[in-house]
Chains A and B, each alone.
Chain A
Amino acid sequence: GSEAAGGEQRELLIQRLRAAVHYTTGALAQDVAEDKGVLFSKQTVAAISEITFRQAENFARDLEMFARHAKRSTITSEDVKLLARRSNSLLKYITQKSDELASSNMEQKEKKKKKSSAAKGRKTEENETPVTESEDSNMA
């Protein structure tokens, strides 16, 4: 009974997620339609959203596998990068983004350090220093 209720709960949740994905897909399709001047039939949008949802499930499973493979219990950006290896351009894009994120994190850390250690003037100076992107992570 409780398990069934939990299962139902889960099913409801899945449906809600599916609906959310569908809504977002519809919105994106709308944007693309306006942009390119094409029309999207409802079946198309439904198909795309269903595909997206299932692929997201696949990603989740793969990410968990990757994290476990690295003997970790947390999914990190490294796992995501490994996941994106399927497509070269996607991998480049993701590594780029992750580098930007990492550098911005570094900057924030430095700022905090500076804040704590020095006057705020130093911090402003650091903010102005250009952000150097670290090289792409190893892309096998």
Chain B
Amino acid sequence: MDGRVGLRASRRAAPTPRVAVRSSPRHRARSGSGLGKENKAGSSTPLRHRPNAFSELDNATPRVMLRRIIQNQPQVSPLALQTVQLEETEDAQPEPPSQRTSSTVELQLPDLVPEDASVTTFRMTRKRKKLSISEFERAADKRLPQNQAHSTLDSTLVRSLRMSVGSVMAPDTVEKRGLLRRPQNHKAIDIAAFEGGVEQNMLQIKAQDYLVDLQTSSMTGTTTIRTDAEVVLNNTELFVEPQLGEQNLLAVEPQLSDSKTSAQRSNTSYPAHEKARLEGLVSRVSTDERRTLRFSEKDLITDHEHVDGITQKTPAKQGEEEQDHSQQNDPMEQFSESEEMAGTTQHHADAEYSEHSEKKLSRKAVSQLTAAQDAGVEMEMTPSEGGVAEGTEHQDSPKAELQMAGSPGGHSPASYSLEKPGAKPLKEAVEQTGEIERGTITGVLDAAEEEATDDESDIEDHESEEISMKTPMFVHAAAYRPQPVLSPPHPVKSASPELPPQPVRAKPVPKSSGAAQRKTREPEIASSLIKQIFSHYVKTPVTRDAYKIVEKCSERYFKQISSDLEAYSQHAGRKTVEMADVELLMRRQGLVTDKMPLHVLVERHLPLEYRKLLIPIAVSGNKVIPCK
């Protein structure tokens, strides 16, 4: 009773007497007979009877009855009974089976009524699932008028029927869902996202690896990661006006200083490598160009240029410049460097890098270094004096280089950093160039021995090449080493610069090949890096052969995109790959569409710091106004 009432609050209260009445055999017989008549005759008379019988039972609305049936009569579908009963008026010809079932149900209904009284809980039986709601509703609708239920009641009945049935169904479905509720993390690998992520992560991880290496080798965490692109970019800008470098330095400085904040920089720098770097590279390149201009004369110096640029900058602008050109030369490096130390860190990074490269160099030939260094120093002195307007800088650059060479030479990075901040020490270093070189050479040897061999032997080759080329200035070597170190992640980019007829690139290329022909090897991405990234995304074990294939694929991929970037920049009549080129490439790849703007991707994949850098630029539509 209570249950029934509770169940149907909107319904009339189920009077017990009604139940008793229903349960009375008389009523049962009546209902049964009535039903039987109905079934057979298909007339509405039984319905009339039934309504009488049921009308007495307030609760005997179709809804309630159905509910009872559902609860108690799994086998018999009340719908059949209801349908038979309700459809009598329409013209449904109850089928004999349905009639029989209806009769049985009819007979059962009175039973259900008393039962229902005792039933207070809703019993859901699985079999009830098979109730056809539409049928039910039809039956309910038919029943309602017969029961003289009010229209409102009808609707409510229908609704309640629906609800009851629905509720019956719901738990089942819910239960089903519950059974199915299993954490399914397996996502189909989105190739585009993976590629983009691989690119970014490769850079990041590459930087991190180098950072780790550097750190382990007692170098500060600044890793000058120079992708091949960066190297190339720097090289391409060899003949850019020297003045740009300084300006860029200044411009870059604020940007870089901001970036120096967190270690994420290094990570972000990698993802944004192609984009942010390009921007930064432009400025850096300009500065590098300055440097390169000075040393363009000397093939050996090509590497030095980068290093020189870094070093020169520092002397010129002492604190700021140091940071700047370290930043400029290696935005990535700087990012990583800045984390640990402001400005000096960068230098340290350079130093570390140079140390890193130095150790590589040691492998090649110390003598080469010495000779190169001597030659480089001399050469550097000459070019610096020659054409660059930065008179003091020239001097400083050799000094700086010396300084840098000295620091990597095994001196504590602190000393290096100390030297960096002051132009004076740099100047003094000039005089001590020879000494420093020697020192650096030893330092290099030490560093080489200290540091563990890298995975990328090609990096070593590059470094050795570069070191031999720019032996005079370890700074150059240091500055340039990051480039070769970075080159493995971007073998394509290093290759692409060779393609275009760019004099800057042409010089370093023949030099490197000539200087390090013994171990000339095309830069490769660290296989460990690829394994790391790939396994991180795949989440399942991967065989070695698979890794090899992935490595080949990624190499080809980077080759292709670097070639594309080169074509795009050339198409725009530029010699430097810029963010516009990268954006164009992404559009062509389908990563950036009308629906998916670039800055959304930036937000998605890049760390926050890079977002601040990139998004306004991306939104500006290839109109980058460098802040000056």
Is B566's CB under 8 angstroms from A140's CB? yes
Which residues 554-586 of B have a CB within 8 angstroms of A? 563-564, 566-568, 570-573, 580-581, 584
Kindly state whether residue B499 has any CB partner on chain A within 8 Å. Answer: yes
In the assembled complex, A138 has its CB within 8 A of some CB on chain B: yes
The reply on B433 being an interface residue by CB < 8 A is no
A65 touches B584 (CB 8 A): yes
B579-608 vs A, CB cutoff 8 Å, 1 = contact: the mask equals 011001001100000000000000000000
**Identity of the chain B residue whose Cβ is nearest the Cβ of A71 in the assembled complex:** B572
Contacts of A65 in B (CB 8 A): 584, 587-588
Does chain B have a CB within 8 A of A106?
no
Residue of A nearest to B500 (CB): A140
Chain A residues near B572: list those with CB within 8 A: 69-71
With A and B bound together, what is the CA distance between A78 and B568 in angstroms? Answer: 11
Please classify the interface of chain B as helix (H, G, I), strand (E, B), loop, or mixed, using the class held by over half of its residues.
Answer: helix
Which one of B496, B500, B584 contacts A69 once the chains associate, using CB atoms below 8 Å? B584
Contact present for A78 and B587 (CB under 8 Å): no
Determine if A70 and B573 form an interchain contact, defined as CB atoms under 8 angstroms apart.
yes
Q: Contact between A140 and B567 (Cβ–Cβ < 8 Å)? A: yes
Query: Given known contacts A70-B573, A78-B571, is B584 in contact with A140 (CB within 8 Å)?
Result: no
Is the CB of A99 closer than 8 A to any CB of chain B? no
Nearest CB of B to A63, in Å: 11
Complex Cα spacing A82 to B570, Å: 10
> Nearest Cβ distance between residue B580 and chain A, in whole angstroms?
6
A90 to B454, CA, bound (A): 41
Tally A-B pairs: CB < 8 A: 35
Given A140-B496, A140-B500 in contact, is the A69-B568 Cβ separation under 8 Å? yes
Task: Please give, as numbers and ranges, the residues of chain A lying within 8 Å of B570 by CB-CB distance.
Answer: 138, 140
What residues on A are CB-neighbors of B581 within 8 Å? 69
Residue numbers in B under 8 Å from A69 (CB-CB): 568, 571-572, 580-581, 584, 622
Query: Given B496, B499, B500, B567, which contacts A82 in the complex, CB threshold below 8 Å?
Result: B567
State whether A82 and B571 are in contact (beta carbons under 8 Å apart), knowing that A69-B580, A140-B496, A140-B499 are contacts in the complex.
yes
Check: A85 CB closer than 8 A to any chain B CB: yes
Q: Mark B291-326, 1 if CB is under 8 A from A, else 0.
A: 000000000000000000000000000000000000
Residues of A within 8 A of B500 (CB): 138, 140
Which residue of the partner chain A has the closest CB to B565? A140
Q: For the complex formed, measure the closest distance between the CB of B461 and the CB atoms of chain A, giving whole angstroms.
A: 25
Chain B residues near A62 (CB-CB < 8 A): 587-588
Q: How far is the CA of A62 from the CA of B568 in the complex (A)?
A: 12
Question: Whole-angstrom distance between the alpha carbons of A95 and B112 in the complex?
Answer: 88
Q: In the bound complex, how far is the Cα of B496 from the Cα of A78, in angstroms?
A: 20
Q: Please encode chain A, from 13 to 33, with 1 for each CB lying within 8 Å of some chain B CB and 0 for all others.
A: 000000000000000000000
Find the A residue at minimum CB distance from B622.
A69
Alpha-carbon separation in the docked complex, A65 to B621 (Å): 12
Contacts of A78 in B (CB 8 A): 571
Q: Is the CB of A66 within 8 A of B571?
A: yes
Report the Cα distance A54→B417, complex, angstroms.
Answer: 59
Q: Give min CB distance, A88 to chain B, whole Å.
A: 11
Interface centre among A69, A85, A140 (most CB of B within 10 A): A140
**Closest residue of A by beta carbon distance from B587:** A65
Instruction: Give every chain A residue within 8 A of B566 (Cβ-Cβ).
Output: 140
Task: Looking at the assembled complex, report how far the CB atom of B337 sits from the nearest CB atom of chain A, in whole angstroms.
Answer: 33
What's the minimum C-beta distance from B343 to chain A, rounded to whole angstroms? 37
- Which residues 439-472 of B have a CB within 8 angstroms of A? none
A78 to B499, CA, bound (A): 19
Distance between A113 CB and nearest chain B CB, rounded to angstroms: 28
Report the bound CA distance from A66 to B587 in whole Å. Answer: 11
A85 CB contacts on chain B under 8 angstroms? 564, 567
CB neighbours of B496 from chain A (8 A)? 140
Smallest distance from the beta carbon of B612 to chain A beta carbons, Å? 25
Instruction: Name the B residues within 8 Å of A140 (CB-CB).
Output: 496, 499-500, 563-564, 566-567, 570
Q: Mark A84-125, 1 if CB is under 8 A from B, else 0.
A: 010000000000000000000000000000000000000000
Most buried by A among B566, B573, B584, B622: B584
Q: What are 18 A-B residue pairs whose CB atoms fall within 8 Å in the complex?
A: A62-B587, A62-B588, A65-B584, A65-B587, A69-B568, A69-B580, A69-B581, A69-B584, A69-B622, A70-B571, A71-B572, A78-B571, A82-B568, A85-B567, A138-B570, A140-B496, A140-B564, A140-B566
State the 3 A-B residue pairs at the shortest beta-carbon distance, nearest first: A140-B567, A140-B566, A70-B572
